Structure 1
Amino acid sequence: MEMPASISLESRLSDTISPSYKRLRLAILETDPELVTVCGTFADLFKRLFANSTTEAEEQTEKVILDIATFNVVNGSYPEPDDFDGILVTGSRATAFDNDPWILKLVEYIMHVHDSSSARLVGICFGHQVIARAFGGVVEENSAGWEVSVTKLRLDEEGQGAKLFPEAGPEGELRLQQMHRDHVAVPPPGMHVFATSERSPVQGLYKEGKVLTLQGHPEFNEEVARSSVELRIVSGSLSEAEGNDALARVSIQNHGADVGKAVVRFLVGVV
């Protein structure tokens, strides 16, 4: 299989990498490659998130460098799991509980990665939902409606403290940009739910050494989030009142960059 060019988030080092550096290989599975936000594709947003996050992990004083390759899974392009340390499934306008052929293939692939490789799975929004589906969770349209803009999440003991998100607030709160109507209504067996919100009971899933997912969008900055809200107001998906409420919260400081750091810690094996 011909591999796409790898993209390093730091300047290319020589072929002989200093032993103080650890290179991690991350595959981004693009589940909506034709969607271009005001700041680029979903893959572009994740590359910026990881570049702007402090990508240092406490592993024998090693500094982490991420090499990223992208794959258009809608068109059937997939990485060999053993070629990567981590595989991230992006957000999408698609519905995770639909039975489109490419979604069914993605569900199959997720199960294969989990059962047959050491690659760690990361899912964001649609990625969170489709990973939950793959392992027996229930994904459906949320009867409570859309959840958009900066939203407070409540973390349990495993989610806060030194385990996953030490950067969370003193009361175990994590704030993230949200943009979804569907949600995970019932978590899959064997997955730990570490975060909830008022509208969504399953905001984050964790399985040690295997899976880390979040319903929110750590990769969204204010510009992307604002544009997404405005598009949904224009389309009628959000009422004027809902849209105004979302726009009032879109600039609230959130933990997106901290989640970027947490993903790196997870890929390295620190958590």
Structure 2
Amino acid sequence: MKPPLRIAILECDTPPDDIVARFGRYGKIFRTLLETAADGLGSGFSKNDLDLSAYDVVTEQKYPDLESIDAVLISGSKHNSFDNDPWILKLVEFTEKLLKQDRIRILGVCFGHQIVGRAAGVKVGRSEGGWEVSVLPVELTEKGKEIFQQDSLSIHQMHRDVVFEYPEGVEKLGASPRCLVQGMYKKGRFISVQGHPEFNEGIVSYLVTMRNKQGIFNTEEAKDALDRVGKHHDGVVVAKAFLRFLLEE
């Protein structure tokens, strides 16, 4: 695939108002990440080689014209990837359609990673291992080390739902004690991660504090997450891997 890379960002949720005010909706948050990664990719590639657009697939249920894009990025969400709400079924159907063709490539993040798994025919659901929250390590496979171009990975997490198994023909990228399917790769088709490369300390701090007040995280869980929230994370590393995947012939 040659630049400009025309990437449609499917917004599967809207962040809380305070996060929108500081960082924007998910379209803008991913734009910030991908432009940073593009400018650091080298080989003459830059953010000027990106053509990014965003679509609200929850409320507006809008989708891009496939002729006008080269790739789709499916964002994270507070919603459950295994639910059967009309907008989720529409998203799964759209993803299935993408998987049946071979030009447009897919990037999946957290909920989006799970939607790719569901569309590919494997089980997604609630993990008995519980939540993964804030910066945590992912143990990379040999393929994961090749894709991310380093031996280990640290990434923001915010999930308790998982993909339980790998679709046929899909390569494993990494695992953690609470989530054995941390990343999926199929050459020329899709790459996905369970973590949140687009998150930062400000976003995760806000979400953890909010969910503590809501009773989703108890005080001990929230403190543990906040103790790790400022640690180094490899969000840009993951985004660079996404772009290299799109540029692969």
User: Does TM, normalized by the shorter one, top 0.5?
Assistant: yes
Deviation of residue 247 (structure 1)? 0.6
AA aligned to 1:218 is P
Q: Which has the higher helix share?
A: 2
Residue 225 of structure 1, aligned match among 189, 192, 204: 204
Give the match's secondary structure for 1:130. helix
How many Å separate the matches in 2 of 1:235 and 1:165?
A: 36
CA distance in 1, matches of 2:81, 2:157: 16
The structure-2 alpha-carbon separation of the partners of 1:194 and 1:34, relative to structure 1 and needing over 3 Å to count, comes to closer
Match of 1:72 in 2: 56
The answer to whether the aligner puts 1:142 opposite 2:130 as a matched pair is no
Pair member with larger Rg: 1
Alignment correspondent of 1:8: none
Contact 1:85 1:119 in 2 (8 A): yes
In angstroms, what is the RMSD of aligned CA positions?
1.7
* Contact 1:82 1:118 survives alignment (8 Å): no
- The answer to whether the aligner puts 1:210 opposite 2:189 as a matched pair is yes
Where in structure 2 are there 5+ consecutive unaligned residues? none
Task: State the shift of 1:113 in Å.
Answer: 1.2
Structure 2 residue 77 is matched with structure 1 residue 92: yes
- 1:177 equivalenced with 2:162 (yes/no): no
Taking structure 2 as the reference length, the TM-score comes to 0.92
Q: Give the secondary-structure state (helix, strand or coil) at the position aligned to 1:187.
A: coil
Which 5+ residue runs of structure 1 have no aligned equivalent?
Answer: 1-20
Looking at structure 2, the residues matched to 229 and 133 of structure 1 have their Cα atoms a distance apart, in angstroms, of 27
Partners of 1:23 and 1:147 in 2: how far apart? 35
Taking only the aligned residue pairs, the percentage that are identical comes to 39
- The Cα offsets for residues 25-54 of structure 1, whole Å up to 9 and x where unpaired, read as 000011113644242211111011112224
Query: How far, CA to CA, are the matches of 2:152 and 2:15 in structure 1?
Result: 34
Amino acid at match of 1:137: V
Q: Tell me the matched-pair count.
A: 242
Q: C-alpha separation between the residues in 2 aligned to 1:191 and 1:101?
A: 28
TM-score of the aligned structures, taking structure 1 as reference length: 0.85
What is the CA distance between 1:82 and its match in structure 2? 3.0
- Identify the match of residue 40 of structure 1 among 15, 24, 28: 24
Structure 2 counterpart SS, 1:53: helix
1:1-271 equivalences under 5 Å are: 22-33=3-14, 35-36=16-17, 37=19, 38-55=22-39, 61-64=43-46, 65-74=49-58, 75-160=60-145, 163-166=146-149, 168=150, 172-269=151-248
Q: Deviations over 1:57-79 (max 9, x none)?
A: 57xx4525111011111222111
Q: Is the 8 A contact 2:172 2:181 kept in 1?
A: yes
Report the alpha carbon displacement of residue 190 of structure 1 after superposing the two structures with TM.
2.1
Residue 81 of structure 1 deviates from its aligned partner by 2.2
